[in-house]
Structure formats: structure tokens, C-alpha cells
């Protein structure tokens, strides 16, 4: 149902307050269904429907007025002529003089007709479905529709883009108290049920064995808060937000007849990986971020994760869906840095090793659902003390200076941004901070000069890697004026 698909992906809304074009203007997508009833067809959203030819266009204020010669009045209009207004914005629909259109228009408070980019006019040569629908209504049929698509998510490898491929011949059934109806998807992966009786329908797609159903989806905001595989046709009550004259937001209910509904299915033959994280003693650890590193063509693990998921905080379970073929390693804290959560857990690879050469690779070759054994976390890192002294250029201790450490790789997603730990020097200029063994930090010092207001600081950050053999060593920071 091509026309229905166009409606579902409509990108911008035309309202009767027109916005003039400026050079900086950018056409951005917006949610048409937030403003108009996405569950109805354009026929029922429009006040006026007709077929006609655009004969003349002229600018009137911030709008473009197009005069039409009507060849076929369909709904809400009589006579042979009409004037339709569009926005002068380059983002809005514009008529071409001499072309024939199937027009959906709404009537403003001033009586003028305008068109919406959510339900734009259609060139008559492309309006076969629009003409068919209007003929159904004229013949006394219900004009109801349940439609959607079945698309397969495909990606040959991480080097190729994701594509959503239509699946032809997939059996789709809808079932309600009114009965069971069946159809199949066309070459574009689309299905449609026409003129079905009102009711609450369960929509089901029967898939080949090698495909996994990633779940149905709605083509618009699910305002009715119902399961995504349920379609509703008929009298419906929907909550709406309205503003009172005092600009107080109230929630009311709107009753209307629902002519159209849509349920689409996303399926995949790609791989999935699932497993659990466990502490050394088998208990569920604090929540961790699990990453997948990809083994590249050179046989090395890429440093940047290609997929990331939080393990469940209560069960420790995690899962990855839609993973293309290839070889991967599951890892926690791939950057091996002080993180915002669980900083005591350094880099570790599945099934529970710290050496990447001992990591167990996960090989995926298509349509696999891999269930891993438990990811056993190694022992936490030991806390180590960073101690030292801050002195001036003349060698005098600098008291009450702020000393702090930051990650040496702050650009990594797994590293804590900003200050990791901080303290102030004592009267002898000495400080003590805590970090974790095996991490690389930068240590910095800072102080305001009380007399001049100038900043005194260490101009060169010192790199510190906490190692067992360095325990007890003292760091010396020389504070120099920043000017």
C-alpha cells in the first residue's frame, strides 16, 4: 500500500501560520501524527477533496495561492473553481501550474483552503489508490484499512551498510471477533486488508524458519498504549492534551471513528549473542557494561567497541541482537580506565581473562543464536595511593593547592569524564590521592594567587601509571604562574 507508506513517513507539517523562507532555514523531520490523527486516512482528515488542474499561482503575503479548475469534486466542495494556499517555505509542498492533482485540503478559520505536508496533494498519474479509495466511499463501503510491511534487516558484515529488504509472499493474518482474515505481502513487502469490519485485531506474520521476528512496530506514536501487534478499527476514545484559556494543560478524551491502523514487522536472519556476568563466587555483580570488539582483517581486535549493552542489574544477563557475521570478543572496560561505575574492575575478556591473547573469540556465520557460558569476572583491582608534594619555582611548599587526577583517555566512552579524585595540599604542600593499580592517570595542581588573582598551576600534566613496583614513590609538582 504505497500511499499509506508515504503517509507513515511524512516528514513535515504545514499549519496555517506560514513561515517565510530564510537562507538559514533547514527542512527538519517532525512528527505529523502529533498534530493530526495518524490513525485516519488523508480522506478523513481533509475537509475538502477534489481532482483538478493548477492554473495559476501567485504570492499573497507569506503564502502562495494556487487557483484550481476542478474536474471532479469528491468531498466538501461544489463548483468548478477553488483557491488553495500553501506556505512559501521551500520545505513545504508547492503546486506546479499545468499539472493535474488529487488534492486533500483543510479549511481554516478564515474559510481559506490549505494543504498539509503530512497529507500532501498527489499528482493524478500517481493517485490510483486515492481514486480507488474515494470510489469505495462513494459506493458506500466502509473505507477501513489495516496495513503495514514485513522488512528484513540485512548486513553482510560490519563493513557494509544496514539495509531493510522487503519480503514478498509472507502470510499475514488478522483476527478478531469479526473473524480471521489472511493475505500475503507484495513485492514491496507491503500488505493491506480493505473494508474490514470494526474490531480489535491481533496482527500476525508467519515467517520462514531462518528468520527471527524482532517485533512489530507502529508507524506513529502509540497514543493508545496498546500492544504493538494490536490494530483497532471503529469507535475509539483517545486521551488528548488541551490548553485552557489560562494556559493550564488538561487531559481530556476524544471519541472518533478509526478508519486506518497499521502494524509493521521487522525481522532478521542476523545473529544474536546472550549470556550472564558472574563474580568469582558465582553471585550477580554490580551492573557492568558489556562490549563486543570486532576481529579485523588483520587478525587484531579493534580497540573501539562495535556493540555495547548493560547487563541486567538483578540477573547479570545481557544480549546482543542483529550482529553481522564475523569474529568478536566480549569485554568489560575495553579502554582499561577508571570508569564512573565499578572502577575497581579493569579490562577483562570473556570468559574471564585479562590477557587479550587468551580471550575466547565468538564466531558468527549466519542465523545463529549463541548462548555463552558465564562471563566470570577476575579479581578487582587493588587501590593504590598517589602521594607527593607541590612546590613553587623557588622550592617552597604550596599549601591549600587543589590536586586532582583525571583519566589519561577521557575520550573513551567507558572512562569517567572530568575529575576522578581530588584533594588539597596540607601546610607542608603534601597530598594523598587514591587510584587503582593498572590505570593511567594525569595528575594536575591548581591554586589562585590571593594577592594578584592569577592562577598558579602545574603547566605540564604528569602521567602516572599505578604499578606495584612504584608503591611508596613520591611525586613532585612544580607550580608556575600561568601568565
Do 127 and 202 share a structural domain?
A: no
Q: Cα–Cα distance between 301 and 329 in angstroms, integer? A: 8
Looking at 246, 267, 288, which one is the last position of a domain? 267
Give the pLDDT mean for 169-187: 94
Residue carrying C-alpha cell 499509506: 4
Q: Are residues 127 and 152 in the same domain?
A: no
pLDDT at 88: 78
Do 282 and 310 lie in one domain? The reply is: yes
Which of 267, 298, 324 is a domain's end point?
267
Domain range enclosing 312: 271-376
Q: Give the pLDDT band (50/70/90) at residue 36.
A: very low
392 against 309, higher pLDDT: 309
* CATH assignment at residue 184: 2.60.40.10
Report the Cα 392 to chain-centroid distance in Å.
Answer: 52
**What CATH number corresponds to the domain at position 61?**
2.40.50.120
Going by C-alpha positions, the residue among 163, 33, 67, 52 that lies closest to residue 103 is 52
Q: Give the number of other CB atoms < 10 A from CB of residue 379.
A: 12
The grid coordinates of residue 402 equal: 587543589
The neighbouring-strand residues paired with 235 are 257
| Same domain as 290, residue 399 | no
- Does 392 lie in the same domain as 351? no
List, for residues 431-466, the tens digit of each pLDDT value.
999 999 888 888 888 776 554 434 444 434 455 565
Give the CATH number, domain containing residue 346. Answer: 2.60.40.1120
Residue 377 has φ and ψ, to the nearest 5°, of: -75, 140
Task: Kindly state whether residues 6 and 128 are assigned to the same domain.
Answer: yes
Same domain, 123 and 16: yes
Q: Which of these ranges, 40-44, 218-222, 298-302, 426-430, has the smallest mean pLDDT?
A: 218-222
Q: Distance between CA atoms of 447 and 296, rounded to whole angstroms? A: 47
Quick one: 235 and 156 in the same domain? yes
pLDDT at 468 over 80: no
Residue 242 shares a structural domain with residue 280: no
Q: Are residues 219 and 250 in the same domain?
A: yes
Asked if 194 and 173 sit in the same domain, the reply is yes
pTM reported for the whole predicted model: 0.63
What is the DSSP pairing of strand 326-332 with strand 113-114?
unpaired
User: Which burial class, exposed, middle or buried, applies to 241 when counting CB atoms under 10 A from its CB (0-12, 13-18, 19+)?
Assistant: exposed
* Domain total in the chain: 4
62 with 45, same domain: the answer is: yes
| 8 A C-beta contact, residue 362 and residue 273 | yes
The owner of cell 579493534 is: 302
C-alpha pair distances (Å), 1 with each of 188, 210, 228, 342, 443: 9, 26, 20, 51, 63
Amino acid at each position: 500500500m504505497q500511499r499509506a507508506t508515504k503517509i507513515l513517513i511524512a516528514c513535515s507539517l504545514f499549519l496555517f501560520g506560514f513561515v517565510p523562507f530564510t537562507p538559514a532555514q533547514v527542512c527538519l523531520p517532525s512528527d505529523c501524527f502529533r498534530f493530526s490523527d495518524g490513525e485516519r486516512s488523508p480522506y478523513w482528515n481533509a475537509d475538502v477533496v477534489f481532482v483538478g488542474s493548477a492554473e495559476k499561482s501567485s504570492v499573497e503575503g507569506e503564502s502562495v495561492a494556487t487557483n484550481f479548475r476542478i474536474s471532479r469534486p469528491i468531498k466538501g466542495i461544489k463548483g468548478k473553481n477553488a483557491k488553495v494556499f500553501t506556505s512559501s517555505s521551500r520545505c513545504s509542498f508547492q503546486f506546479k501550474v499545468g499539472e493535474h492533482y488529487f488534492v486533500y485540503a483543510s479549511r481554516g478559520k478564515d474559510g481559506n483552503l490549505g494543504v498539509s505536508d503530512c497529507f500532501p496533494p498527489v499528482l493524478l498519474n500517481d493517485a490510483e489508490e486515492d481514486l480507488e479509495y474515494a470510489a469505495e466511499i462513494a459506493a458506500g463501503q466502509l473505507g477501513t484499512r489495516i496495513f503495514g510491511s514485513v522488512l528484513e534487516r540485512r548486513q553482510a558484515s560490519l563493513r557494509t551498510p544496514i539495509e531493510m529488504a522487503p519480503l514478498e509472499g509472507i502470510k499475514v493474518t488478522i483476527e478478531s471477533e469479526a473473524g480471521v482474515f489472511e493475505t500475503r505481502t507484495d513485492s514491496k513487502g507491503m500488505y493491506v486488508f480493505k473494508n474490514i469490519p470494526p474490531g480489535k485485531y491481533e496482527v500476525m506474520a508467519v515467517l520462514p524458519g531462518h528468520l527471527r521476528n524482532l517485533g512489530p512496530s507502529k508507524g506513529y506514536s502509540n497514543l493508545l498504549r496498546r500492544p504493538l501487534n494490536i490494530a483497532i478499527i471503529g469507535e475509539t476514545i483517545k486521551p488528548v492534551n488541551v490548553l485552557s484559556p489560562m494556559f493550564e494543560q488538561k487531559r481530556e478524551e476524544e471519541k472518533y471513528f478509526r478508519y486506518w491502523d497499521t502494524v509493521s514487522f521487522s525481522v532478521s536472519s542476523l545473529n544474536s549473542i546472550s549470556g550472564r556476568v558472574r563474580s568469582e563466587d558465582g553471585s550477580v555483580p554490580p551492573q557492568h557494561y558489556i562490549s563486543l570488539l570486532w576481529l579485523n582483517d588483520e587478525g587484531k581486535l579493534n580497540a573501539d567497541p562495535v556493540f555495547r549493552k548493560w547487563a541486567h542489574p538483578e540477573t547479570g544477563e545481557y544480549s546482543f541482537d542483529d550482529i553481522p557475521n564475523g569474529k568478536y570478543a566480549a569485554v568489560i572496560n575495553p579502554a582499561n580506565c577508571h570508569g564512573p561505575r565499578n572502577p575497581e574492575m579493569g579490562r577483562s575478556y570473556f570468559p574471564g581473562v585479562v590477557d587479550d591473547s587468551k580471550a575466547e573469540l565468538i564466531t558468527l556465520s549466519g542465523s545463529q543464536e549463541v548462548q555463552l557460558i558465564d562471563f566470570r569476572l577476575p579479581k578487582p583491582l587493588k587501590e593504590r595511593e598517589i602521594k607527593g608534594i607541590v612546590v613553587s619555582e623557588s622550592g617552597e611548599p604550596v599549601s591549600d593547592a587543589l590536586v586532582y587526577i583525571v583519566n589519561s583517555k577521557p575520550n573513551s566512552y567507558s572512562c569517567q569524564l572530568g575529575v576522578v579524585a581530588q584533594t588539597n595540599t596540607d601546610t607542608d604542600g603534601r597530598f594523598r590521592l587514591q587510584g587503582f593499580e593498572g590505570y593511567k592517570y594525569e595528575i594536575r595542581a591548581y591554586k589562585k594567587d590571593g594577592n594578584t588573582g592569577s592562577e598558579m598551576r602545574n603547566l605540564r600534566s604528569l602521567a602516572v601509571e599505578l604499578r606495584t613496583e612504584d608503591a611508596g614513590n613520591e611525586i613532585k609538582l612544580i607550580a608556575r604562574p600561568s601568565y
